Structure 1
């Protein structure tokens, strides 16, 4: 990997007292895996806390934790993981130490985070962010068992029920435990693209889900809630280069199987035919180009893998009531 050409994104993972280990390990594993799946971005992950050593929820001791830095670079990302309550936490240190450590984290968040920083809050980490005043006026969420506590701590926030995660500007919050992985995958897709995100999720052997506010499943993720390696190899190839001429024979070579067998596997595991999958990804790419560029329809069609604008419009009409031109006017 050519690290010299990669953009480095500094990420500070804040470890609270009584750390719920999965809140920390799940999201950071997404970033570790993303460093292996692509060359353009490198996530420089650092663990910081109010003290150098803390027990985790599973009893594993977390050691050599860094100090909360006095200042952060302008492009810093701060990931605040969650903690468990006293009843669930067997190796609990004295409560007064926990309260003092939490207060130090809250003071640090309040004093250090700026509008240029990205805040990613996992599970009950939202309570620390709320105490620091970072959720005031924002939409946010947390573990379902802590929603009332979040409302109490942040009365000016718009606390959302029944959501995996909520995005509000540079402040993203997630629901409980594994929802932190969903948040990180969604955030990763914004930075590294859907192909990288799909590859990370596949390596972690998890489903890719969307936010509760999204009415439809993204075509980049649709049909990938399976674990068949041959189908994933074909899907990875299409996601990496939708513009390529992906006929059944070419994809079968990528999947190391026969065209007939790949066609059967796609229908069984992806729930759609190979041409349907290719066209859905190409339409999705065309939508992104229409929303983010001023290219004319012929160039959009060419870049997204269609032979002509007419072919793009026909494929578009199969899944969209409005014509593709209207995509340019959407927020």
Structure 2
């Protein structure tokens, strides 16, 4: 595996994939990681950490199973760096699989490697990628996209998702699951970049009574959270609590409760094998049918299909993934 680094590269874009492949080596992998830079000089990352480089990109004389192109916060200037883009093209020519992490997609696009392909990048920059490179079909909500021999990933942690998918290609799903368990990460997070935690994307609310209600829902999704129960908890009328949800959160009490319960159900499905009746009861849905309706309505898949997706890194839109030999350079 060859990782292209440069001054100002984002540290986790580099170390995340490396850690996945290093962990895979503990379970039968034979990855050899080399860091290269356009001129062979050591680099300082955006975080201020120095990275020791093995050789200049131009001196790479071996074929790589994987070439990783990370991103960096100064990507607008990086896409104008001819030496860096030349290095991207040269490494791609010697690789079986070229992948980008986060804003590294801009480097692939600027080098012409994404022309006519589907791709993704961090959600904050997806519109800019589509605007700058109209020949690229940008999928802003994807965690990673596989098109031919090129793979692109979203935010920095999605580089881990992508790397696990590559381990599955090389060593099989069971080894990838073992690596994921060892690193305490998911095999694949079904759904896209927009599926952040309900609580983390909930805006700050000014009303103390509403904050107490929200904490109670998140703390025990299976409890009684009817409008009347929430109103009693807040010490206000049902009409007033409904108005607070609308004014402060832009949603209804029932919708918010369902989102919290669904998130709790997703966590149980991702991490365990409890019967659907147990999952439904523990998360407040009451019955497997209510659980199923919520998943189909909000995610477009059944709870069983959701759980199954955590048995492999392969997503529905990544069916073109090929297999590669387990030894990677």
TM-score (norm 1): 0.55
Structure 1 portions without partners, runs of 5+ = 1-10, 87-94, 214-265, 274-318, 320-329
Segment of structure 1 superposing worse, 124-133 or 107-116: 107-116
Question: 1:42 aligns to what?
Answer: 30
Size of the aligned set, in residue pairs, is 202
Question: 2:185 aligns to what?
Answer: 206
CA contact (8 A) 1:186 1:210 kept: no
Question: 2:115 aligns to what?
Answer: 136
What is the distance in 2 between the residues matched to 1:47 and 1:159? 28
Q: Out of 10, 14, 18, which is 2:4 matched to?
A: 14
Q: How does 1:75-224 map to 2 (within 5 A)?
A: 75-85=64-74, 102-114=81-93, 117-210=96-189, 212=191
**2:15 is aligned with 1:25:** yes
Q: Out of 271, 287, 307, which is 2:273 matched to?
A: 271
3-state SS in 2 of match to 1:150:
helix
CA RMSD of aligned residues (A): 3.1
The offset of 1:269, in angstroms, is 6.0
Distance of aligned partners of 1:268 and 1:193 in 2 relative to their CA distance in 1, 3 Å threshold: closer
The offset of 1:200, in angstroms, is 0.9
CA contact (8 A) 1:139 1:166 kept: yes
What is the distance in 2 between the residues matched to 1:49 and 1:32? 21
Distance of aligned partners of 1:155 and 1:70 in 2 relative to their CA distance in 1, 3 Å threshold: farther
The offset of 1:65, in angstroms, is 4.3
The offset of 1:73, in angstroms, is 3.7
What is the distance in 2 between the residues matched to 1:109 and 1:46? 15
Higher relative contact order (CA 8 A, sep 6+): 2
TM-score (norm 2): 0.55
The offset of 1:188, in angstroms, is 1.0
What is the distance in 2 between the residues matched to 1:160 and 1:72? 34
The offset of 1:133, in angstroms, is 0.1
The offset of 1:75, in angstroms, is 4.9
What is the distance in 1 between the residues matched to 2:60 and 2:21? 22
CA contact (8 A) 1:127 1:153 kept: no
**2:69 is aligned with 1:68:** no
Q: How does 1:285-324 map to 2 (within 5 A)?
A: none
Distance of aligned partners of 1:114 and 1:24 in 2 relative to their CA distance in 1, 3 Å threshold: same
Q: How does 1:243-282 map to 2 (within 5 A)?
A: 270-272=272-274
